[in-house]
């Protein structure tokens, strides 16, 4: 879910502000044997999960989706309808999760309901048969069921601190929060749980037990910080996530734990340790008349993702949020944008869950969601793709596959059509390569040195490139080499992650670095590999031999201790050249070294 600053709908405010009397209820679920013969084999997130989520349609003002008020799409009838459509159309392609998002315990005025143990309770209007019946239906279709909770003790569940904690004698809600009732989560809608009191873990255990008993296979824990546009001690929910991991393990049921949203990359190690996946960004939904829009916020992912790439892998993946490409009119995207959206999700190895109305997929949307070659990129053994060029409007991402081929994506993020080239030297080889177009299921033949294609505005191409040439020889030049020229504020600094243990930093406000003796045999345009560090995305103007400079944006590496590599084109003459990185009037990344190919 998105930040309050984007949160224009009244229900969101209600959720944060309305304090309700304790909903007195009885436990609806008896502790019972929970081993289901149909339960899937337990295991970590070996590959990105695939499925459907309810939130995109809940959050949209697209005509007819939420006739009973905001977020009212979420009902048993709708979930079952989508479950059936998922099973019929998409299950055979690997889509398996049906994930219920926020609101299942809230009525249509967004008023929450809790059982006597302060646990969320299904809203009887939305889910008249309770949550277990839904999971049972999902399972009966051979699918998995997902559910949702905000992190913390929801304020309305506090009940003056008197609500008992299930299966925890002597524990009440007063015991599990701080005395000052400090609030937490992305909306400040809950009291922060104090895990120094053993009752706190018991509360999480009781919620986990309930979900296990209902038969859920997946939990999205939302509003988690640091992240969710919150920082500071009150919003540090690492202990909550750890408690959830522990509680799920104690149930004996494998439940995938996904944390959300816009999580702090500084805590990536925690998310990897305690969860099975994490939302790296704000909501993809636009909260408008369509499900999403390009600027709000599909395109953000291109800039926000690179710093996270190295953190994804078996056991935990970078979650880019819903993949809403199934119906052009509802999605609010052009065909080109839908393909680009699906391309990025696929190559990033993001979970692939759509938020579309699966009963109304158009033929193009169905082709995007069911392209087996593209799904194989996402679900296969290859690592996530990363940018191999700077973050220019036309850019290339790639991943080296275990079989020696490359997954290569071309992107044109400009608002007009443009040609985009992938140079083989940016992949580390030279000569010829065979190219297969995955979206169009077409072999494009052998291409020498590069492939260039016309892309529509916001368009993409996705290729498998099979090298038929030779490995690329490069010559490295360290930024800190004494022969280089430093200008302005630029200076050499220690850097344990860097080659030679040093780098050139402080490239800002006129600071510049010039490599003074870059030798090539033949004139031409060379893709030079730049090893750099940049906590945030920064730009540098790159030029050769004092000629005209081109400004490039270097994707964030997430911190100032991590080196990443992208390529920038530089036109060199035969013999010795200078190459300059100029911060200009802004801030440039720190430079570790450059590697110049021996062939252009």
Partner 1 sequence: MNPRPTDPDRRTLIAAGLTAAALAGLPAFTASAAPRRPLDVPQPTEDSRHLLWWQAPADDHSMIEQGLPVGNGRLGALAGNDPGRELLLITDATLWTGGLNDELDDDGQFPYGRADFGSFTLLARLTVDLPDHDLSAVHGYRRTLDLSQALLTTTYVRAGVTYRRQIFASRPDDVIVLHFTQSGGGRYTGSVTLGGTHGETGGGAESFGASFPGGLRYGAAVTAHGTGGRVRVNGARIDFSGCGDLTVVVSGGTNYAPDARAEYRDPSLDPEKLARTKVRAAAAHPAATLLRTHVADYRALYGRLDLSLGTSTPGQRALDTWERLTARARDRTPDPELEAAYLQFGRYLMISGSRGSLPLNLQGLWLDGNDPDWMGDYHTDINLQMNYWMADRTGLSPCFDALTDYCLAQLPSWTALTRSLFNDPRNRYRNSTGKNAGWTVAISTNPHGGMGWWWHPAGNAWLAGTLWEHYEFTGSRTHLEKIYPLLKGACEFWEARLLPMTLPGSERQVLVADSDWSPEHGPLDARGITYAQELVWELFGHYRTAAGELGKDAAYADTVAGLRERLYLPQVSPKTGWLEEWMSPDNLGESTHRHLSPLVGLFPGDRIRPDGSTPRETVDGATALLTARGMDSFGWANAWRALCWARLKHAENAYELVTTNLRPSTGGGNGTAFNLFDIYEVEQGRGIFQIDANFGTPAAMTEMLLYSRPGHIELLPALPAAWAASGHVTGLPARGGFVVDLRWREGAPTSVRVRSVGGRTTTVAYGGTSRTVDLRPGRSVTLKGFTR
Indicate which single residue of 80, 174, 444, 486 sits in contact with partner 1 (rule: CB under 8 A). Answer: 444
| Binding track over 25-54 against partner 1, x by CB under 8 A | ------------------------------
Q: What is the distance, to the nearest Å, from the Cα of residue 226 to the centroid of all Cα atoms in its chain? A: 16
Which tokens is 529 given? Answer: 């590999």
Q: State which residue, 398 or 544, has the beta carbon closest to partner 1.
A: 544
Q: How far is the CB of 339 from partner 1 (least distance, A)?
A: 6
Q: State which residue, 417 or 487, has the beta carbon closest to partner 1.
A: 417
Q: How far is the CB of 546 from partner 1 (least distance, A)?
A: 9
Indicate which single residue of 242, 457, 493, 537 sits in contact with partner 1 (rule: CB under 8 A). Answer: 457
| Binding track over 509-548 against partner 1, x by CB under 8 A | --------------xxx---------------------xx
Q: How far is the CB of 192 from partner 1 (least distance, A)?
A: 46
Q: How far is the CB of 459 from partner 1 (least distance, A)?
A: 6
Interaction residues for partner 1, span 315-354 (CB under 8 A): 335-336, 339
Interaction residues for partner 1, span 185-244 (CB under 8 A): none
Nearest CA-CA partner of 484 in 458, 508, 507: 507
Longest dimension (CA), the chain: 82
Q: How far apart are CA 10 and CA 4, in angstroms?
A: 11
Residue with tokens 């994490």: 278
Kindly state the helix (H) or strand (E) to which residue 437 belongs, with its residue range.
Answer: strand 432-437
SS3 139: helix
Q: State which residue, 339 or 379, has the beta carbon closest to partner 1.
A: 339
Q: How far is the CB of 112 from partner 1 (least distance, A)?
A: 45
Residue with tokens 């560090």: 533
Contacts of 374 (CB under 8 A, 6+ apart): 342, 343, 346, 368, 438, 439, 462
Q: How far apart are CA 108 and CA 112, in angstroms?
A: 9
Q: State which residue, 33 or 416, has the beta carbon closest to partner 1.
A: 416
Dihedral of alpha carbons 213, 216, 218, 221, sign: negative
Q: How far apart are CA 419 and CA 292, in angstroms?
A: 26
Indicate which single residue of 192, 301, 386, 461 sits in contact with partner 1 (rule: CB under 8 A). Answer: 461
Interaction residues for partner 1, span 552-571 (CB under 8 A): 571
Dihedral of alpha carbons 262, 381, 466, 343, sign: negative
Q: State which residue, 68 or 442, has the beta carbon closest to partner 1.
A: 442
Q: How far apart are CA 73 and CA 355, in angstroms?
A: 12
Indicate which single residue of 315, 456, 469, 488 sits in contact with partner 1 (rule: CB under 8 A). Answer: 456
End-to-end CA distance of the chain: 46
Q: How far apart are CA 20 and CA 109, in angstroms?
A: 12
Q: State which residue, 54 or 339, has the beta carbon closest to partner 1.
A: 339
Q: State which residue, 372 or 441, has the beta carbon closest to partner 1.
A: 441
Which of the ranges 23-31, 171-179, 284-292, 439-447 carries the binding residues for partner 1, by CB under 8 A?
439-447
SS3 6: helix
Q: How far apart are CA 252 and CA 91, in angstroms?
A: 26
Indicate which single residue of 251, 370, 453, 466 sits in contact with partner 1 (rule: CB under 8 A). Answer: 453
Q: State which residue, 233 or 521, has the beta carbon closest to partner 1.
A: 521
Task: List the alpha helices (DSSP H) in 440-572.
Answer: none
Q: State which residue, 107 or 437, has the beta carbon closest to partner 1.
A: 437
CB 336 within 8 A of CB 366: no
CB 508 within 8 A of CB 535: no
Q: How far is the CB of 396 from partner 1 (least distance, A)?
A: 15
Indicate which single residue of 143, 165, 307, 455 sits in contact with partner 1 (rule: CB under 8 A). Answer: 455
Interaction residues for partner 1, span 404-433 (CB under 8 A): 415-419
Q: How far apart are CA 334 and CA 203, in angstroms?
A: 46
Asked if 452 interacts with partner 1 (CB under 8 A), we say yes
Q: State which residue, 3 or 550, has the beta carbon closest to partner 1.
A: 550
Asked if 454 interacts with partner 1 (CB under 8 A), we say yes
Which tokens is 300 given? Answer: 């953000």
Q: Give me the residues that bind partner 1 (CB under 8 A), please.
A: 335-336, 339, 415-419, 437, 439-440, 442, 444, 452-457, 459-461, 523-525, 547-550, 571
């Amino acid at each position: 879910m998105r930040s309050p600053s984007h949160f224009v709908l009244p229900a969101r405010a209600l959720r944060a502000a309305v304090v309700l009397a304790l909903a007195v209820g009885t436990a609806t679920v008896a502790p019972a044997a929970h081993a289901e013969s149909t339960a899937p084999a337990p295991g970590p997130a070996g590959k990105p999960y695939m499925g459907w989520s309810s939130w995109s349609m809940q959050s949209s003002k697209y005509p007819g989706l939420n006739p009973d008020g905001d977020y009212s799409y979420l009902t048993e009838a709708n979930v079952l309808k989508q479950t059936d459509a998922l099973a019929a159309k998409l299950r055979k392609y690997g889509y398996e999760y049906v994930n219920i998002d926020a609101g299942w315990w809230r009525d249509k005025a967004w008023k929450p309901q809790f059982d006597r143990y302060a646990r969320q309770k299904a809203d009887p209007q939305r889910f008249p048969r309770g949550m277990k019946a839904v999971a049972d239906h999902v399972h009966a279709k051979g699918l998995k069921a997902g559910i949702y909770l905000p992190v913390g003790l929801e304020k309305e569940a506090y009940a003056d601190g008197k609500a008992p904690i299930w299966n925890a004698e002597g524990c009440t809600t007063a015991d599990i929060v701080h005395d000052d009732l400090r609030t937490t989560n992305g909306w400040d809608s809950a009291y922060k749980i104090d895990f120094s009191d053993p009752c706190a873990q018991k509360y999480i255990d009781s919620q986990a037990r309930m979900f296990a008993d209902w038969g859920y296979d997946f939990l999205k824990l939302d509003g988690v910080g640091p992240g969710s546009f919150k920082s500071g001690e009150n919003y540090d929910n690492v202990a909550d996530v750890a408690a959830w991991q522990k509680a799920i393990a104690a149930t004996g049921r494998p439940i995938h734990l996904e944390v959300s949203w816009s999580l702090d990359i500084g805590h990536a190690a925690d998310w990897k340790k305690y969860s099975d996946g994490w939302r790296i960004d704000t909501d993809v939904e636009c909260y408008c008349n369509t499900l999403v829009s390009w600027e709000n916020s599909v395109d953000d992912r291109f800039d926000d993702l690179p710093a996270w790439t190295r953190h994804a892998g078996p056991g935990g993946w970078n979650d880019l949020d819903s993949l809403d490409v199934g119906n052009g009119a509802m999605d609010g995207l052009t065909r080109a944008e839908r393909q680009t959206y699906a391309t990025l999700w696929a190559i990033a190895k993001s979970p692939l869950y759509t938020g579309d109305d699966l009963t109304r997929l158009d033929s193009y949307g169905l082709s995007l969601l069911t392209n087996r070659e593209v799904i194989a990129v996402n679900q296969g053994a290859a690592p996530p793709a990363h940018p191999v060029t700077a973050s220019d409007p036309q850019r290339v991402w790639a991943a080296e596959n275990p079989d020696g081929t490359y997954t290569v994506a071309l992107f044109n993020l400009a608002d007009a059509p443009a040609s985009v080239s992938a140079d083989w030297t940016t992949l580390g080889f030279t000569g010829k390569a065979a190219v297969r177009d995955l979206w169009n299921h077409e072999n494009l033949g052998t291409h020498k040195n590069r492939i260039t294609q016309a892309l529509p505005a916001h368009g993409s191409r996705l290729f498998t490139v099979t090298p038929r040439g030779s490995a690329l020889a490069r010559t490295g030049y360290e930024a800190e080499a004494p022969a280089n020229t430093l200008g302005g504020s630029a200076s050499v600094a220690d850097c344990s992650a860097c080659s030679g243990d040093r780098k050139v930093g402080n490239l800002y406000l006129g600071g510049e670095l010039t490599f003074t003796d870059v030798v090539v045999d033949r004139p031409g345009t060379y893709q030079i590999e730049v090893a750099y560090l940049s906590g945030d995305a920064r730009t540098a103007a790159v030029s050769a031999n004092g000629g005209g400079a081109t400004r490039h944006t270097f994707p964030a590496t997430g911190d100032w201790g991590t080196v990443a590599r992208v390529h920038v084109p530089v036109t060199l003459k035969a013999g010795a050249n200078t190459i300059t990185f100029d911060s200009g009037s802004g801030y440039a990344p720190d430079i570790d070294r450059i590697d110049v190919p021996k062939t252009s």
